[in-house]
Amino acid sequence: MKHRSRPEEQDDLLRPRLVDMIDMRHELVKLADLIDWEFFEREWADLFPSATGRPATPPRLVAGLMYLQHAYRLSDEAVITRWVGSPYFQYFTGETFFQHTPPIHPSSLSRWRDRIGEEGAEWLLTKTIQAGQSAGVIDDDSLARVSVDTTVMEKNIAYPTDARLYEKARVKLVALAKELGLDLRQTYARKAPRLAMQIGRYAHARQFKRMRKALRTLRGYVGRVMRDIRRRLDDTPAGAMRDSVAEMLARVSKLLHQAPKGKGKIYALHEPEVDCISKGKARVRYEFGCKVSLAITIDEGFVVGMRAMPGNPYDGHTLAEALEQVETLTDRRPDLAVVDRGYRGHGVGKTQVLISGMRRGLTKGLKAQLRRRSAIEPEIGHMKTDGRLARCPLKGIKGDAIFAVLCGCGHNIRKILARLRAFLALIVAWIADALRPSAPVHGVGRYPELPA
């Protein structure tokens, strides 16, 4: 059913109004006035074609909660808990009176993310760009010069070792067989966990011959359970449960037969699309997640484009798609893009692309813009430490796409809040300086003359 609208303001002497409780100069109050909330009311109304059922949550509440949780690095449960205790959070999401109970269940945010998809998340990013322009954080001319780079958004999975994956596959298969009502010949519930633990001990002691032998035995246990379920699966009635068991059997079969250095390997049974990405880092050799392409303005470091790139594509092949997203979100094609050497062979012709290390034939102004390319690295670091880009908890390729764009929204919100906070501090300092009494002249005034 269509979302419910906000009730009209009524005089209620028994309920405290938020405007009487908060400082209207607060940065969240100022930011709430800069965002076009009516846009979400119009665009997200088409997501509810049915005229029956329970009314949906107000779109401003959901959009505001998504902004806040990525700006302050909060989970779904934490942002709801903090919303109840913060009048500024409640004002930002459109409340008139102070509320003492949670507005929604945290699971509602998951359903809303599935409902709006990546396109809805890009609408949220577009409104942060427009709010940044209204707040004076970015200029219109800054949108013509962007810096593009890629990073890895790790998935919320454990480090993939063969012993852990085999034992996890066995546990999942046994649980599915029990739910389907299959009586297995043997589940290895006692031997397999003990053997998986012993494999880790062999590896720590550098006894690799014993480790490989134990690993083959554990793989044999998983294979026997898999084949036992496969033989009995034809006798079960057709349905959704049988299809999920067949899908898990195919996934476990791929896990048991994958080569050590093969392509398309499975690193997590619940997230088979996870990629193993090597970025040449000395601290972390491999990262397991999804590659993310982001475009920021060279002058301010404001995010104007962010997109997940599944499949670990070559960086140069992602540049055209990244610039196309920037044009879609800002209604302006960038005139200049600065990139690192991983983008050689990009094939982009409409935008001038400067690659790190270029010196010949560049003007003094272009050389200055190229030197600003490395400024994107600390911006990525802030997204991972201050934001939530370090680890994605959402499921599947769709979850990666939505989460990456929302991380860009949170980065822009933090930039705008910092500007509004600095502007407020400047006004307060100016007022305090104006009200400060002037120093006495020649000992005449409200202050006594100091002794010689």
The amino acid occupying position 1 is: M
Mean pLDDT computed over 366-391: 93
pLDDT at 5 over 70: no
Mean pLDDT computed over 33-56: 82
Rounded Cα distance between 421 and 300, Å, is 16
- Each as own residue / partner, the long-range contacts of residues 353-356 (CB below 8 Å, 24 or more positions apart, any chain) are 353/319
Closest by Cα among 274, 279, 307 to 292? 307
Whether 278 contacts 199, CB under 8 Å:
no
Closest by Cα among 269, 263, 234 to 248? 269
Give the pLDDT confidence of 315-349 residue by residue, as tens digits.
999 999 999 999 999 999 999 999 999 899 888 88
- Read off the tokens for 43: 């665009």
Q: pLDDT at position 2, please?
A: 61
3-state helix, strand, coil in the chain (%, to 5): 55, 10, 35
Per the DSSP assignment, residues forming a β-bridge with 3 are 56
- In the chain the domains, ranked by start, together with CATH numbers, are 18-133+412-419 (no CATH), 138-157+275-403 (3.30.420), 162-257 (no CATH)
Q: pLDDT at position 146, please?
A: 94
Closest by Cα among 370, 350, 349, 373 to 359? 370
Whether 304 contacts 148, CB under 8 Å:
no
Q: pLDDT at position 13, please?
A: 63
Phi, psi of 152 (to 5 degrees): -110, 125
pLDDT at 86 over 80: yes
Rounded Cα distance between 45 and 116, Å, is 11
Burial of 338 (0-12, 13-18, 19+ CB in 10 A): buried
Q: pTM value?
A: 0.88
Q: pLDDT at position 452, please?
A: 47
Helices (H) and strands (E) in the chain, counts: 14, 7
Per residue, the 3-state secondary structure of 196-211, as one string, reads: HHHHHHHHHCCCHHHH
